[in-house]
Amino acid sequence: MTDDPRSRKPATAHTRADIEAFAATLPPDDGTDAANVARGFIATRTDPVIPKLLPNPWQPITWDLSASDFVHAACPDTVNPSLWRQAGFNAQHGLYEVLDGFYQVRGFDTSSITFIRGDVGWVVIDPLTTTETATAAYDLVTEHLGERPVTAVIYTHSHVDHYGGVLGVVDRARVESGEVPVVAPEGFLHEAVAENVVAAPAMGRRATYQMGMLLPADEQGHVDQGLGKGVPTGSSALVAPTIEITETGQELVLDGIRIEFQLTPESEAPAEMHFYFPDHRALCMAENCTGTMHNVLTLRGALVRDALMWSRYIDEAMDRWGDVTDVVFASHGWPHWGAEACNGYLTRQRDLYRWLHDEAMRLANRGLTPNEISAAIDLPQGLWEDYLCHGYYGTVSHNVRAVYQRYLGFYDGHPSSLDPYEPVEAGQRYVDFMGGMDRLLEQARASYEAGDHRWVAEVLRHAVFADPTCDDARLLQADAFEQLGYRAESGPWRDIYLTGAQELRNGPIGLQTIQRPKDEVLRGMSLQQIFDFLAVRLDGPAVVPLGHLFVDWVLPDVADTVRVELSNGTLHSLPGRTHASPDATVTGDRVALEDMIATGTPFAEVVESGAVTITGDVERVLGLFGNLTDFPLFWNVIEP
């Protein structure tokens, strides 16, 4: 152990005791999960490193299959043993046969990609997060199962880890020509852009905490995401679907494969679907049933999910196909085989989300606040005895608070919550009330030595926000976060605690990285979505003095126009329309607009280059589009 106060620390005696006490409550392990994880293994990639097409300074590769080899050793005292068990399962990687003609590549990404042999080629389900990981998976399939073209793609839902790697399995031109259908649930494109473009800058930073993206992979750092090993980095794209599933019961035949669909909106994703293969007695549950309790509200931030409907959709799937299913597989985790095992798995997953919903609202209706509810609810014994219901990704604690939020919002009903001080102001007042920084730290150290790390973490939040230069406060809070991370059964909770500790000790990563949609994502967006994103970037107060402004944007390469209006600092747009008497007209190809957004080139420079021209009120148009805000990735989280 080093004497450096900024170094990582071992588990304290209190942490070890808490972990041992938790381990004593774990259910017996009959080996079923381990057998299912290993079943059908064919081969894996020889080179563990999947290189990145466009490396960046802080993430030079896309994926390293060997990064988690350490989890195959005995569980250390710095990791919850239940999470360690899950980490060992998720660390297994390669090509697996699910049933005749159905194959999955697992462990090459946070999600799994499925290849189904059709009459001519492969029907691909969920082409992973990045072009790089999807390409590596496809190459592995080709190496061991023979060369076949991809003849159709299915997106189960609107999260980027299920569509972002599409260009790794199919060329965009083959989709746009109609040769390769891309199937997705109704509302997919809207939700994919809303979550992965409009809110991407905020989610991206929070994701660095949730996914442990800046942590070393070892016994004191990132161990597992719970849902998978972690998140790859690389080149993601958005290829719009060509076929939408608009109702439950809809059927398709893709490359000779019959499929029946069930829409499940507002479940794990706002746009999601299950589907069944009647000729193979196989059921895909997308991401609504995985190898863990999932999130009702993901900690990176997203729309709150409907736990009640989530449970009902699983029940509906059981009602439709439970009696005729021999295999259940999903977009994460491992399959389940046999009618009894499949129905038992689906039943417990159904009950899990219903329990979270009903118990949260039962207590909310008795007047309990979100934090009181989270302290009062545990899993019933029948669900606790199934490891696949444990909180490796979601937790009972934050899921029941999310249920409360969906129905009742952020406000907990207490008048003091209506207009609280922002963190710096509150922190300064708390420190004063507690007798000053020295007295606060003295009491916090005593609490730390007593093993009350939760309280230390909470109370020192105020100290750090009151004076972020106080090393004693920062380092003590970091030590408390670290011990809480060691205890956590949830992969994201562990990563969030440990990332907070790392940044308190060393400061946030010093890269001036700007978050922008990539060109391959912009190509899949509608014009309406592109201009709505520009509206989010617009500095409203800065453009209020420009007054009311009418602009027509003409895009010759796609033979389209967009009617743009600035009103009271807000930007409105309507593709396919023009103004009767615009104040100005902007003319430029769509590809120039996409390039400006993807590269961050200032609008004035785009005009100066000749890629875009303005007629009419040039100065006000330059003023309008010259006030687009850039979104940095690494804004502060644990300090002001």
Asked if 125 and 114 count as a contact pair (C-beta separation under 8 A), the reply is: yes
End-to-end CA distance of the chain: 31
Asked if 237 and 157 count as a contact pair (C-beta separation under 8 A), the reply is: no
**Separation of alpha carbons 498 and 208, rounded Å:** 11
Residue 419, classified by CB atoms within 10 Å of its CB into exposed (0-12), middle (13-18) or buried (19+), is exposed
The matching CATH number, chosen from 3.90.480.10, 3.50.50.60, 3.40.50.2300, 3.30.1050.10, for 526-632 is 3.30.1050.10
Residue 253, classified by CB atoms within 10 Å of its CB into exposed (0-12), middle (13-18) or buried (19+), is exposed
The CATH number of the domain covering residues in 31-408: 3.60.15.30
Q: DSSP letters of 199-229?
A: THHHHHHHHHHHTTTTS-BSTTSB---SSSS
Domain boundaries, the chain: 31-408, 526-632
Beta bridge partners of 51: 61
Contacts of 479 (CB under 8 A, 6+ apart): 9, 448, 456, 501
Based on DSSP, count helices (H) and strands (E) in the chain, helices before strands.
Answer: 23, 23
Q: State the pTM of this model.
A: 0.94
The helix (run of H) or strand (run of E) holding residue 605 is: helix 603-609
**What was the pLDDT predicted at 2?**
61
3 state SS for 86-106: HHHHHCCCEEEEEECCEEEEE
**Separation of alpha carbons 500 and 205, rounded Å:** 12
Distances (CA, A) of 453 to 2, 220, 621: 21, 17, 55
- Residues of the chain whose pLDDT is less than 70? 1-2, 58
Reading the block at residue 192, the tokens are: 């994919």
Asked if 460 and 483 count as a contact pair (C-beta separation under 8 A), the reply is: no
Rg, Å, the chain Cα set = 26
State the Cα torsion 96-61-232-217 to the nearest 10°.
90
**What was the pLDDT predicted at 156?**
98
Q: What is the DSSP letter of 571?
A: E
